[in-house]
Each structure stands twice: as structure tokens, then as C-alpha cells.
Amino acid sequence: MRVFFRMWPAQQTNAVHDPMTLYRTFVSGPTHIPLLGRQGDEIATIPFFASPRVGAETVAWFGCWLDINQPNDLRFPGRLLGATPANLPDGPFQGTGPLLSIQQHVRSLHQCLIAEIDLDGQTIPSWQDPSTSDKLAQRNLAFVNVPNPGVVNSRVAPQTLQIRPTPPIPLDDRPDELMS
């Protein structure tokens, strides 16, 4: 079993599994390698890689280190170039224009991260999404600027959310409460 982590570089509400576009994977025998997800010439999902796990079958929690804080690690072009989508390169990307870091591909403060569980002999049916498939899981990421350097307590990065009070309820004339 393998778990592929993919990030949408912008806010996304449609995580539908389409192995021809967003969830492209190179398969050669038992080897499965996630490729850049694309829609036309646009990079739509970015796969992340870690060291392979070796050993007997285990039950474990999986995690992912998103190595996006490397502004000088230029990996992908701004757009994939080519007249025919089926012939667009999967890399290396020499001669395709200036290369950008993953950080430069991130286009908003909110991204979606998808974990795609890849089991040999089992395919995820097209048009499934994290709400309908046990092989896809989605988490939302939010980037919040925090001061650095500064005092230790100023380096805590909160998970932000926006709320506004509801109008007072006529029965008791009190607004709703936010509890955590």
C-alpha cells in the first residue's frame, strides 16, 4: 500500500478523482508514481514524496511533510507547454521556460491536501471524491503570517477562521456563542 499526498495550489472545492487529469499516476508493474495533476496546460495538483517505508505489514498513521518553504528549489514551470495535452511533459522540465518553486505555485492562503491510498490491484473509480471513496481523504491547509523574529509567544500560528455574530434571538435577546 502507498499513500500519495497531493496539494491543490489554490482553494478547491472539487476533489473528484480523475486519473486522466488531477490524479495522474505513472504505473510500471508494481511501481506507482504520482505525477503532476493538470487541467489543460495548468498545473492543478502537486504530488509530494517521502522515503519509502520498508518492513512487514503494519497498521499506522501516515503523515506528510510539505516541503514548500524552499524558495530556491525551482521545480516546475508556470504552465505546461505543448499543443496536445496528452503530449505534455511530466519532467524533466528543461527548455519549458523559467521554473518556479512550489511556494510560487501556491496562489492563495488556503489549499486542499488530498491523501490518495494506492493499493495494488484496486483502482479508485473515476469521479469519486473524498466524500464517496474510502481511498481519498481531504484536509484543508491555511497559511497565516506570524512575526519572526520576535518573542516566543508571537510565533504561534493560529488556525484562522472568520465569523460574524448572528442577529440577537428575539426570545432571550442574546447572540450565539462560539465554543471550542
**pTM listed for this prediction:** 0.57
Question: CB–CB of 93/77 below 8 Å?
Answer: yes
| Band of residue 180 on the pLDDT scale cut at 50, 70, 90 | very low
Choose among 40, 45, 51: nearest CA to 9.
Answer: 45
pLDDT in tens, 69-94: 788 988 888 888 776 766 777 878 87
